């Protein structure tokens, strides 16, 4: 399967997306969300489906406003002080996210032999968007809060950690067979804060899920973690670690314990290019991870301009190598 295998690069996704007003309407209409979740399996025969939703549906469910603006991405009213944190209401999460659980049930009923992966953002990455009020190149407000008001930042992260356990647990109860934690901005922290805000909440989430749902694997994706990926894998107990594009698979294989699967890590832009360049990169990654559990994937999500036929070529290359 591939990160962001559902989305704008697929004409059949754009057709469904055109039937609703916005992204939130699509994510909360189970019939349509289930349909788009299954699109890449129908087109390419992927071995896993990833729930169609977004990491920001959790802040939305907590009562923080959320809007997806065309060409601009997500926009939220920033949370930067204690009064704003106090407006977040964990009590409304389960009810608000009920349509997403119905999507999980629908997909599970139709997914056949493929694996259904549920997901959430990691508490740190979700906090980045909540504090900043949307995407950012450097998440300056968030990092400044983490250093300058550690008690408040900690309170926000604790609230998100508890809510994420409940959210992922509900997805598993609805039929998710594995879950992934997207920590897209893990790499912007100092090593000290990486331990506090990335490793520690992730370890808490994995432990709570293992207790409630023994045997359900958790895939962690601490993007741009560099050499801290080994410590992340050892301390969090995830069953698989996603490698970002910049990670050297051979080095990662020496840092991460042998029983932990590695997932990744073709550059999404190599997929845009296709052809011989993509094939060489793909073969290099497969060779570097030969002999250990490897889930072939990208190093980050598929980008909108990706030609769908390049994805078909990639699936063929990976199948031929396996
Ligand atoms: O209408 C649209 O098509 C909007 C585009 C879109 C899509 C298709 C957004 C807005 N989210 C999604 C779906 C999505 N997002 C999925 C499920 C489908 C799949 O993987 O195939 C997943 C797993 C995500 C996860 C996600 N959302 C992450 C983590 C992974 C990553 O890409 O780093 C992040 C950071 C987001 C936030 C987000 N949502 C959407 C956008 C454009 C963004 C990025 C904003 C930014 O940082 O600028």
Residue having the nearest C-alpha atom to atom 10 of ligand 1: 73
Q: Which residue has the tokens 């560099």?
A: 226
Gap between the Cα atoms of 2 and 228, Å rounded: 24
For residue 301, give the ligand 1 atom closest to its CA: 32
Q: Lowest-confidence range among 68-72, 76-80, 204-208?
A: 68-72
Q: Is pLDDT at 265 greater than 80 in this prediction? A: yes
CA of 290 to the centre of ligand 1 (A): 30
What mean pLDDT do residues 75-94 have?
A: 98
> pLDDT above 70 covers what percent of the chain?
100
Q: Is pLDDT at 306 greater than 90 in this prediction? A: yes
Structure tokens at 254: 């020496």
Residue of 15, 21, 33, 54 to mutate, ligand 1, most atoms within 8 A of C-beta: 54
> What are the Cα distances from residue 276, in Å, to 264, 272, 279?
19, 12, 5
Whole-number pLDDT of residue 71:
81
For residue 119, give the ligand 1 atom closest to its CA: 23
Gap between the Cα atoms of 165 and 143, Å rounded: 24
> pLDDT above 90 covers what percent of the chain?
98
Residue having the nearest C-alpha atom to atom 22 of ligand 1: 54
Banded pLDDT at 24 (limits 50, 70, 90): very high
Whole-number pLDDT of residue 72:
85
Which residues participate in catalysis according to the annotation?
4, 8, 17, 54, 129
Q: Is pLDDT at 322 greater than 80 in this prediction? A: no
What mean pLDDT do residues 138-165 have?
A: 98
Gap between the Cα atoms of 56 and 68, Å rounded: 10
Gap between the Cα atoms of 51 and 249, Å rounded: 27
Q: Which residues line ligand 1 (CB under 6 A)?
A: 3-8, 17, 23, 50, 52-56, 68, 73-74, 119, 135, 182, 184, 301
Structure tokens at 119: 């997901």
Confirm if 201 and 127 have CB atoms less than 8 A apart.
no
Residue having the nearest C-alpha atom to atom 19 of ligand 1: 4
CA of 54 to the centre of ligand 1 (A): 6
Banded pLDDT at 70 (limits 50, 70, 90): confident
CA of 101 to the centre of ligand 1 (A): 18
Whole-number pLDDT of residue 6:
98
Using a cut of 0.85, tell me whether the model's pTM lies above it: yes
The residue among 3, 92, 20, 113 whose CA lies nearest residue 55 is 3
């Amino acid at each position: 399967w591939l990160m962001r295998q559902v989305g704008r690069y697929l004409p059949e996704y754009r057709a469904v997306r055109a039937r609703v007003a916005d992204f939130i309407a699509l994510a909360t209409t189970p019939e349509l969300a289930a349909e788009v979740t299954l699109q890449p399996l129908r087109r390419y025969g992927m071995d896993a489906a990833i729930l169609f939703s977004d990491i920001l549906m959790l802040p939305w469910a907590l009562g923080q406003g959320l809007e997806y603006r065309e060409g601009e991405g997500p926009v939220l009213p920033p949370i930067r002080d204690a009064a704003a944190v106090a407006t977040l209401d964990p009590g409304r999460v389960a009810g608000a996210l009920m349509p997403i659980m119905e999507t999980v049930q629908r997909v599970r009923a139709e997914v056949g032999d493929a694996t259904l992966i549920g997901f959430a953002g990691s508490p740190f990455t979700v906090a980045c968007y909540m504090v900043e009020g949307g995407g950012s190149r450097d998440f300056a407000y968030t990092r400044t809060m983490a250093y300058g008001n550690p008690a408040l930042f900690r309170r926000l992260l604790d609230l998100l950690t508890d809510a994420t356990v409940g959210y992922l647990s509900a997805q598993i109860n609805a039929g998710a067979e594995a879950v992934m934690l997207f920590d897209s901005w893990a790499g912007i922290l100092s090593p000290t804060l990486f331990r506090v805000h990335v490793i520690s909440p992730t370890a808490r989430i994995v432990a709570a899920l293992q207790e409630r749902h023994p045997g359900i694997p958790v895939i962690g994706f601490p993007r741009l973690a560099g050499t801290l990926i080994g410590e992340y894998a050892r301390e969090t107990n995830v069953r698989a670690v996603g490698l970002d594009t910049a990670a050297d698979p051979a080095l990662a294989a020496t840092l991460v314990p042998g029983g932990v699967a590695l997932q990744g890590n073709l550059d999404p832009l190599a997929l845009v290019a296709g052809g011989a360049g993509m094939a060489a990169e793909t073969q290099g990654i497969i060779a570097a991870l030969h002999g250990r559990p490897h889930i072939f994937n990208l190093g980050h999500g598929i980008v909108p301009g990706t030609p769908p036929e390049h994805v078909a070529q990639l699936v063929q290359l990976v199948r031929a190598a396996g």
